[in-house]
Amino acid sequence: MFLRCFTYKGLVVQLLPGSPIPNSLNSFSVYTASSKKGDNMTKRVYNFYAGPATLPLPVLKKVQGELLDFHGTGMSVLEISHRSKEYDEVHKKASELLKQLMGIPNDYKILWLQGGASTQFFMVPLNLQIVGKPMEYVNTGNWAKKAIKEAKLYGDVKIVASSEDGKFSYIPKNVQFSSGASFAHITGNETIGGIEWQEWPKVPSEVPLACDMSSNFMDKVIDVKKFGVIYAGAQKNLGPAGVTVVIVREDLINRVPENTPTMLKWKTHVEKDSLYNTCPCFAIYICELVLEHLQSLGGISAMEKQNRKKSKLVYDVIDKSKGFYRGVAKQDSRSLMNVTFNLATPELEAKCVEEAKKKGLIGLKGHRDVGGMRASLYNAVSLGGVQVLCEFLREFQENNQ
């Protein structure tokens, strides 16, 4: 059992479940304490970084407890063979949990790969290209542009829609993909602009839709059947950096040219159940624990409700600030995961970031390419942490407007 505690004027105060956030945040330090007798109190901050991101505390505690002796093996999971019976159970369970939680149909394969979404930026066109047919992309920001750049190495790329005219502050509407495309590609959520697809675009039945869901993977319930390929770096909602999940429809696996390097074929990893080479065992093990934890909370539908509640709290602070905080994303494109906003000057933003750090609120500085501020509200960010952030933002406005 874990208790929420804070220090206030030198006193350690325990927050009981359901108790309100303190009105004053002076001298606020965030702690998570184990109630088990003899355990030391461990300092924990509220982590709003865009990634790697916060992980569920029960998962970290379990990892800590099993680190030296994994399931009675006398070895750490960092040390055991990826061919061992003990790891095989982890590997299979991770895939099964993901399949259950997302409702992944039987004609889709789950891959656990390395190289991040950035490697899938070229593996997607490499595996899905059809000679003589264009690859169609929607340009919604920094990550979409990186995917487009890699696709151009393999053939004709057609940009069917873009929000660059609005500095990537919105998701284009009424996107039309052609029936003659090899595949269609979108970026589910742009962490820098803080924009997210609210409704998935329609594609011709013969054209597979590929989606980079790195920063909004499992943030809401989706219909996997709408996609030919889903890929995501794990380090936002699924686990630590070091593993990338790819969900690919079975009929697409054999499209890849035969002269493609072995490791770059999805087919290779499908045939070997992601064990063609040594997989990132530790990262997949943590993903399995995160999925187990998510299941215990009620699954993705319960998490979606929580995410909508969290993001609304922060957007309400922005919208009610009378312009002190200015949201970056258009309201109909706002991200559940990355809330982006500006203050009047870069100096005021820097002051806000620094004062937030003193209150145990970390990672609020915007992306280096655009500046501003950003609060990333991934699945493991608690509702309580978001409430603390909102209270701080209101107090900062009161003291600085």
Beta bridge partners of 334: 195
Neighbours of 231 (CB within 10 A): 27
The dihedral over CA atoms of 236, 240, 243, 246, expressed in degrees to the nearest 10, equals: -30
Residue 249's beta-bridge partner residues? 108
Q: Are 284 and 91 in contact (CB under 8 A)?
A: yes
Q: Which residues are catalytic?
A: 143, 212, 236
Dihedral of CA atoms 141, 161, 136, 261 in degrees, nearest 10, equals -10
* DSSP letter for each residue of 81-130: -TTSHHHHHHHHHHHHHHHHHHT--TTEEEEEESSHHHHHHHHHHHHH--
- The CA-based angle 341-342-346, given to 5 degrees, is 145
Which among 363, 321, 365, 324 has a CA at the least distance from the CA of 53? 363
